[in-house]
Amino acid sequence: MMKIKLSDVNNASGRNYRFAFNLPADEFNFPTDDYQIIGTIEVSGIAENTGTGYHLQGSVKCQRHFICDRCLGKITEDQVNDFDEIYAVDAPETQKDVNLFSGDFVDITDLVHDVVIVAQPMANLCKPDCRGLCPKCGINLNEQQCDCDTTIIDARLTVLKKLLEKD
């Protein structure tokens, strides 16, 4: 768990308290279908007592491991994702962006989990313009060129093409 003790924040000079946590990624129950979050999750930041609540700012370092959808390359990528959240014991109903808590701790384990999940891209690509594999010979087109003819034209498209060529 990643718990910030609020009496530590209140006693810190300027009421600014630096926190840092390391936890194995396994402890977060991240999804494992499309990608894996591996290694150690490193969290660091500053907690500030604002008088009405606690302002937490920080970053989450993690590693994403996946197989590229296009070239099937095995990729491990380092990520740093930031967070900026307000925690309070009580908040008016209109203030939707406040996280409520009670007691002398703010547990940011769920926050860290969500920061990582929300930051993950929909597609698994080694780079945005990955050229993938040649569908005929299987060569990795990021690394090499081949001479395969990969223009596969559907029969109906051929008819359409002929019609267009008449103009």
Residues facing residue 24 across a β-bridge: 40
Asked whether the beta carbons of 106 and 6 are under 8 A apart, the reply is: yes
Residue carrying the six token digits 């095995």 = 74
If one counts every other C-beta atom within 10 angstroms of the C-beta of residue 141, the result is: 15
Which H/E stretch holds residue 64? strand 54-67
Q: Which is nearer to Zn ion, 86 or 134 (CB)?
A: 134
Dist. CA 75–CA 127, nearest whole Å: 10
Closest to 144 (Cα-Cα) out of 127, 132, 128: 132
Single residue of 4, 56, 62, 68 touching Zn ion by CB under 5 A: 68
Q: Which is nearer to Zn ion, 91 or 139 (CB)?
A: 139
* Least spacing, CB of residue 139 vs Zn ion, in Å: 5
Q: Which is nearer to Zn ion, 64 or 70 (CB)?
A: 70
Single residue of 4, 25, 64, 70 touching Zn ion by CB under 5 A: 70
Annotate each residue in 118-157 with x if it binds Zn ion (CB under 5 A) or - if it does not, as one string: --------x---x---x-xx--------x-x---------
Residues lying near Zn ion in the complex (CB under 5 A): 68, 70-71, 73, 126, 130, 134, 136-137, 146, 148
